[in-house]
Amino acid sequence: DAGVIQSPRHEVTEMGQEVTLRCKPISGHDYLFWYRQTMMRGLELLIYFNNNVPIDDSGMPEDRFSAKMPNASFSTLKIQPSEPRDSAVYFCASSPPGTGVNNEQFFGPGTRLTVL
């Protein structure tokens, strides 16, 4: 089975540009998570969805960040406008239904974002 798919794998952009990251969760999984990883802050949860509905977006750094999940097989994380401090690796992860608090998250390969 295919794992979590993310695109692009690498993105280099200039400050002020809009960046859109994409994620396809594992088929049948109903939880989707967006994380950001940096050396300084480690792995941080930005937002997560359950059944396509955003449940907790308290980790989204500011209004420049937005995320959508229009259907069960696709999600986007958008940064507009981008800033150099947004440079990080962004991971998408998904979890199967019925796992409740014992969820195990499966990570995609990540998108390495560099904002110049």
Partner 1 sequence: QKEVEQNSGPLSVPEGAIASLNCTYSDRGSQSFFWYRQYSGKSPELIMSIYSNGDKEDGRFTAQLNKASQYVSLLIRDSQPSDSATYLCAVNPGYSTLTFGKGTMLLVSP
State the residues that interact with partner 1 by CB under 8 A.
Answer: 31, 33, 41-43, 45, 48, 50, 55-56, 91, 95, 100-110
| Distance between CA atoms of residues 6 and 28, nearest Å | 17
| Distance between CA atoms of residues 25 and 2, nearest Å | 9
What count of Cα atoms within 13 Å lies in the side-chain half-sphere of residue 71?
A: 4
| CB nearer partner 1, residue 41 or residue 71 | 41
Least distance to partner 1 from the beta carbon of 116, Å?
21
The CA–CA distances, whole Å, from 4 to 31, 41, 43 equal 12, 23, 17
| Distance between CA atoms of residues 63 and 65, nearest Å | 5
| CB nearer partner 1, residue 57 or residue 81 | 57
Least distance to partner 1 from the beta carbon of 11, Å?
16
Least distance to partner 1 from the beta carbon of 38, Å?
10
| CB nearer partner 1, residue 86 or residue 110 | 110
